[in-house]
Structure 1
Amino acid sequence: MRFAAIADVHGNRPALEAVLADIAVLGITDIVNLGDHVSGPLEAARTADLLMERGFPSIRGDQDRILVELWQAGGSTRSDFRELERRHFDWMASMPSTLTYRERVFLCHGSPGDDAAFWLDHIADDGCAHPSGIDSIEAGAKGIDAEIILCAHTHIPRVVRLRDGRLVVNPGSVGLPGYDGKLPVPYVVEVGTPHACYAILDRAGGGWSATMRYVSYDTTAMTALARAKGMLTWASAIATGWVQQAGK
């Protein structure tokens, strides 16, 4: 059994196209998508169109959920929201928050119980993301009957082997390798490379292995688009993998 896992595309269609091309070159035909498909200042509608066309097994991320909630509430002035059509919202609304894939693999966005949770990593008082301890990770995996658990949300590629043998994998972000936030404290997440990232999962000999793939693509257009919309943090992250915050 071999398949690819993508996550956190965030409307970055050129990055998605590069990743899908890389997957195709490797001869992999099965792909799962862990959510946060279109949110952000990039190409929400064009990215949604491509993902809808491909029809991957997909779950809804926290930002997808928020966009659907805004739609159900009557609207928003956000640029991503204004790009999307009813069919795009219907597509996101139809997705489950979790999914079991081929009976062996459990898909979630943040953690199995919370689509907005930092799970394999946590934000510390210093405003940086640090790896979580095994006890807290295993607590989040309690009751999940699957050989491998895939999560996303943090954009940080990570592989954790639980003490019972299950594997938890975050495939990183296709479209956004850095960002900042305010809670629980002001923080920055930086992957340190502008590459689009995804994971390949292989099951052979009774066990699972995970390989992270970092794919180069031309970031010029998406950097310029983020900058034109005043999203300088996004522009910096897409261009470099590092976050240059406004005013610094």
Structure 2
Amino acid sequence: MRLAVISDIHGNLRALEAVHREIKAAAPDLIVNLGDCLSGPLWPEETAQYLVAQGWPTVRGNHDRILAETPVAELGEPDAFVYRHLSKTAKEWIGELPATISLESEIFLCHGSPSSDEIFLVEDDGGNHFFPSTEREVRRKLGNVTAELVLCGHSHTPRVVFVSERQTVLNPGSIGVQAFPGLTATGSPHARYAIATRQNGRWSFELRAIDYDWAEAARRAEASGFANWAHGLATGFAADAIDS
């Protein structure tokens, strides 16, 4: 079995299109999406239409939940931008996404962790940064999830974490956003995704970073009034990290 795993698109349609082209060439059995689909000053409605048309198994990210459940007057600036640009169909689609998905008994999908879309599964939150969780902490946050392969996103950081001979956690990284001030900085603007392959009862992984037109994405952010997003989209580094 071969899975293509994507996450944290954040409305970056150009990155999604490039990743999908490469995935189609690899011909996996299934593509799964780990959420935070639209939030960002890029192409939210167009990304929603693209995802609805594909029909991939998709879990709700924390920003998907915020868009669906928070009064528009209480939304932060990027999410308020997204809400203003979404059709009724897109809003309904976001609102119907499940928090988790189990594929048979061996694969479990969540955005952050099994219990919360805001808790990092394989990292600990240090406030303005995060750091890798201990083995004990990962097991605690997994709770009663016993699936062989647990798929999570949220931290935008590609990782494979070997919990035991019977369980592995995969974070494919983010398709659309490679830098958040004080939190994430992958160090390059390449779009991230992963391929997971199960053969002879064991999983192996390919963490992929691919080229796309990130200059266009940066220009789109600036044109939308979010120049603070442009540097991260173009470089993979947060602007505050460069300036400090």
TM-score bracket for this pair, using the shorter chain length: over 0.9
Matched ranges for 1:221-240 at <5 A: 221-240=216-235
Aligned length: 239
| 1:68, distance to aligned residue in structure 2 (A) | 0.3
State yes or no: 1:156 paired with 2:133: no
Of the three residues 92, 95, 98, the one matched with 1:93 is: 95
CA distance in 2, matches of 1:130, 1:191: 14
CA contact (8 A) 1:150 1:169 kept: yes
Name the structure where helix makes up a greater proportion of residues. 2
CA contact (8 A) 2:146 2:167 kept: no
Residue of structure 1 in register with 2:64 after alignment = 64
CA contact (8 A) 1:59 1:107 kept: yes
- State the Cα RMSD in Å: 1.8
- Describe the superposition over 1:205-225 as per-residue Cα deviations: whole angstroms up to 9, x where unpaired: 111111111110011221011
Matched ranges for 1:1-248 at <5 A: 1-70=1-70, 73=71, 78-124=80-126, 127-180=128-181, 187-245=182-240, 248=243
For residues 160 and 177 of structure 1, do their structure 2 counterparts lie closer, same or farther at Cα, with a shift above 3 Å needed?
A: same
Which consecutive unaligned segments of at least 5 residues does structure 2 have? none
CA contact (8 A) 2:59 2:110 kept: yes
What TM-score results when the alignment is normalised by the length of structure 2? 0.92
Matched position secondary structure for 2:183: strand
- Describe the superposition over 1:90-136 as per-residue Cα deviations: whole angstroms up to 9, x where unpaired: 111111100002331000000000101122122337x4332111110
Q: What amino acid does structure 1 have at the position aligned with 2:25?
A: V
CA contact (8 A) 1:232 1:245 kept: no
CA contact (8 A) 1:232 1:246 kept: no
CA distance in 2, matches of 1:207, 1:108: 21
| 1:165, distance to aligned residue in structure 2 (A) | 2.6
What TM-score results when the alignment is normalised by the length of structure 1? 0.91
Q: Percent identity?
A: 38
CA distance in 2, matches of 1:246, 1:196: 20
CA contact (8 A) 2:121 2:142 kept: no
- Describe the superposition over 1:160-201 as per-residue Cα deviations: whole angstroms up to 9, x where unpaired: 011353000111000001113xxxxxx331011111000101
CA distance in 2, matches of 1:191, 1:58: 24
